[in-house]
């Protein structure tokens, strides 16, 4: 983990939204999920972003306290201004599957939106792993976890891949959420070396006996993680529910087909993700 930025050394609340921004956030969050609602919300969001001039915002979203840096990270921008549009189908289906002792792995956790959403709802006996390789984004993730009383989320600073070692991660400065271990087309992408391990090694090292749900959003490298896991892991460890970014155009194999052959059925296809559930044995 890198040293915290000066902003991360400030206590939560130091970057509370000022009245003008607070009014904009209130209006964007109240916007309905239809064409006109989204158009209005996005127009107001642009005004709000300009007023920030790159500074973070301390706020509650998705049931958790977070410090958000919306300039340069689409995930943080969405969570700050329009959390109602942030993967609503995926979050609803996740919430409906929560039970006592719920286990969830968030691969490509970014600043923790999914992990903290689950932690806010899954109860004190949940176990959540938030896996994020980008050093500065990991620092933001760790900060956000620490601002909440859940005690069920563990942040892991590494990439997941098909073998252990070290990987080159290509950082996209325009949208940190699109950084990937696969080469980016962006001319401004900068490489950084990060440690890597397999999903199976992570799960076994943490002593997991089951995975109720997993979310994978790693910008086209999902096949590098899931294929070896399904090959090498005992079926008892296979996740019951999978939210996976639809990166079929970037996968090097038919991962969706592999999931179906492994006993999963596609429940829903959203704009960004594919949602699979394991068929009963």
What's the mean pLDDT in 48-71? Answer: 95
Helix residue ranges, H only, the chain: 19-30, 35-52, 74-81, 88-96, 113-122, 135-146, 199-205, 222-232, 255-261
Domain boundary among 43, 64, 84: 84
Hunting for tokens 């749900």 — which residue is that?
213
pLDDT in tens, 95-123: 999 999 999 999 999 999 999 999 999 99
Nearest by Cα to 93 from 273, 280, 260: 273
User: Is 78 a residue whose pLDDT tops 60?
Assistant: yes
Q: Going edge to edge, which strands form the sheet with 165-171?
A: 159-160, 190-197, 165-171
Q: Which residue has the higher pLDDT, 177 or 52?
A: 52
Q: What is the DSSP letter of 57?
A: E
| Residue 69 belongs to some domain of the structure | yes
**Cα–Cα dist 245/217, whole Å:** 5
Domain that holds residue 29: 14-84
- Confidence tier at 169 by pLDDT (50, 70, 90): confident
Instruction: Confirm if 226 and 255 have CB atoms less than 8 A apart.
Output: yes
pLDDT in tens, 183-215: 545 556 678 888 999 999 999 999 999 999 999
Neighbours of 115 (CB within 10 A): 30
Look at the alpha carbons of 126, 127, 133, 138 in this order and tell me if their dihedral is positive or negative: positive
Which CATH number do you get for residue 227? 3.40.50.150
Neighbours of 217 (CB within 10 A): 22
- Confidence tier at 174 by pLDDT (50, 70, 90): low
Residue 52: the pLDDT is 93
| Residue 1 belongs to some domain of the structure | no
Same domain, 71 and 120: no
Same domain, 30 and 128: no
Q: Which residue has the higher pLDDT, 186 or 46?
A: 46
Q: Which residue has the higher pLDDT, 206 or 9?
A: 206
Count of structural domains, the chain? 2
Same domain, 30 and 96: no
């Amino acid at each position: 983990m890198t040293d915290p930025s000066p902003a991360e050394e400030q206590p939560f609340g130091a970057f509370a939204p000022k009245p003008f921004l607070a009014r904009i956030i209130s209006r964007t969050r109240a916007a309905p999920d239809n064409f006109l609602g989204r158009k209005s919300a996005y127009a107001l969001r642009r005004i709000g972003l300009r007023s920030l001039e790159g500074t973070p915002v301390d706020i509650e979203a998705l049931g958790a306290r977070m410090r958000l840096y919306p300039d340069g990270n689409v995930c943080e921008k969405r969570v700050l201004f329009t959390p109602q549009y942030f993967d609503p189908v995926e979050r609803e289906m996740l919430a409906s599957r929560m039970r006592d002792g719920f286990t969830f792995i968030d691969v490509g956790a970014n600043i923790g939106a999914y992990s903290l959403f689950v932690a806010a709802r899954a109860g004190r006996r949940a176990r959540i792993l938030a896996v994020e390789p980008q050093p500065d984004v990991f620092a933001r993730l760790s900060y956000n976890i620490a601002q909440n009383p859940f005690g069920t989320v563990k942040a892991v600073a590494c990439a997941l891949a098909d073998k252990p070692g070290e990987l080159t991660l290509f950082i996209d400065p325009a949208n940190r959420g699109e950084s990937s271990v696969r080469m980016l087309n962006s001319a401004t992408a900068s490489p950084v070396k990060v440690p890597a391990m397999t999903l199976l090694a992570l799960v076994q090292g943490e002593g997991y006996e089951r995975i109720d749900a997993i979310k994978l959003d790693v910008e086209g490298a999902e096949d590098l993680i899931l294929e070896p896991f399904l090959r090498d892991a005992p079926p008892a460890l296979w996740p019951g529910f999978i939210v996976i970014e639809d990166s079929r155009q970037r996968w090097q194999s038919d991962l969706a087909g592999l999931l179906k052959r492994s006993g999963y059925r596609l429940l829903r296809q959203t704009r960004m993700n594919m949602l699979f559930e394991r068929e009963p044995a």
